[in-house]
Amino acid sequence: MTHHNRFKPSTAHMNRIAGLGLSALCASTGCAPAPETDEETGLVELFAGAYDHCANVLEGDLFNRISSQDASASNARTIIWQTFLSMNENDAYQRYSNYHDEAHRAGGGGGLSVFGLFDVNGSGADERKLTRQQFGELYRHMRSLNASASSSDWSQSSSFTSAYTSYIRDANTIEAWRQCVTARPEPGLYAYGSRDDAGNAYVQVVWSPGNFAGIAPAIEVEFVAQEGFTMDPGRARVAVGTGRSFAVRGAASSREFEVHVNGTYQEVGSFQAQAKIPPAVVPSLVTPDGCEQRRLSAFFAGTLPQESLGKLRSFGYVPIHNVQDDPSSRVMAYLPCDPSSP
C-alpha cells in the first residue's frame, strides 16, 4: 500500500465522462482528495488519503500486541516507534494524542506504557496524557538514541504495511486490511513488501477496480526494481481483490529496497504503486535507560522543570523523591546515577 498510488484515466474513459461534470463524476466513482504534504518535511502525512482507515486496522493490532505483551510485542513496538520517529514532531504528537483519547474513551490505557515504554505517570486508565512539551522531550530523546539505528522512512503507508506483513505476519489482520482497501469505490492498485520466516522478499499486489469491477476484473502489471534486483515474473495479470505474491531476486535482498509497480487497463486507465521491502532483520529500537526514565518520569509528573532536565542529563544525575517510586512526590536531592545499575 502506498501514497504513490497514482491513477491516470484513459482517453476512452475521459471521453465517456466528458459531459457529466466533476460533481457527477465524483458521485459515480468516489473521487478522493489527494494526500496532504507537510510543508516542513515534504513527507506525506501518515495514513492520509482515501484508505487511511484501512491502515488503522494494522495499527490497532500492533497496539493490542504491545499492551498484551505477546511474543510479537517487541516487533510491534519497533514498528510503532519507527513510524513515529519518521514523522515530524507535531504530527507524531497528534498521532499520540489521538490514540490516547480514543483508548481512554474505550475505557483502556493509552499512555506511553501502551507504546511499549515505561509507565510515565501512572498506569492503564489512570495514566495522564502528556502535554505537547512533555511529549516533545521524549520524542527528541528517542530520535537522538535511534539516530544511527535506521535511515528508513516508516511514515509512508507502504513502509508501515510492509513492516507489518514482514515482522508480524498475522494472516487474519492482513486479510481484514485487504478487504478494507478493496471495498473502496475508487479504483486503486496497492503494493506492499513482505518477508517470510527465512527473510525471503516478496511484493504483494492487490487490484481494486472499485466501481469499474464490471469492466476491469483484472489488470496487467509490470515491475521496475532497483538495480541489482529482479522480479519473478517481471509481468503478470492480477485479478480483483485476491492479490498476488511475486518473488524478488537479488544478492543484496536482505537490505531495504523499493519496487515500483505499473498497471494498465485500457478502459479505465493507468496506475502506479510503490512497495518498500524492509530489512530482513528487524531494526533495533533503543529506549531510555533507567536513569533517563527516572528523569523523564519526574519531568512528566511536574516535579522536575524542563531546564533542570537537560542539566541533570549532562551531569548524569537523577532526582530523589521523598516517597520512593513516586515521581510526583517532592524532590529531596539530586544524586549521580549509573545507567548500568538495576
Q: How far is CA 78 from the centre of its chain?
A: 10
Task: Answer whether 262's CB lies under 8 Å from 210's CB.
Answer: no
Ramachandran area for residue 285 (φ above 0: left; ψ -120 to 50: alpha; else beta): beta
CB neighbourhood size of 274 (10 A): 22
How confident is the prediction along the chain (342 residues), in pLDDT tens digits per residue? Answer: 443 444 443 444 333 323 322 233 233 333 333 333 333 333 223 344 444 678 888 988 988 888 778 888 889 988 888 888 888 899 989 888 887 787 777 666 555 555 666 655 544 445 678 899 999 999 999 999 888 655 567 777 778 899 999 999 999 999 999 888 888 888 888 899 999 989 999 999 998 888 887 788 888 999 998 888 888 888 888 988 767 899 998 867 788 888 999 998 876 778 888 888 889 988 888 888 989 989 998 998 899 999 999 999 999 999 999 998 899 999 999 999 987 765
How far apart, in whole angstroms, are the C-alpha atoms of residue 86 and residue 97? 17
How far apart, in whole angstroms, are the C-alpha atoms of residue 203 and residue 236? 12
Q: Which residue, 165, 121, 179, 130, is CA-closest to 297?
A: 121
Rounded to two decimals, the pTM is 0.74
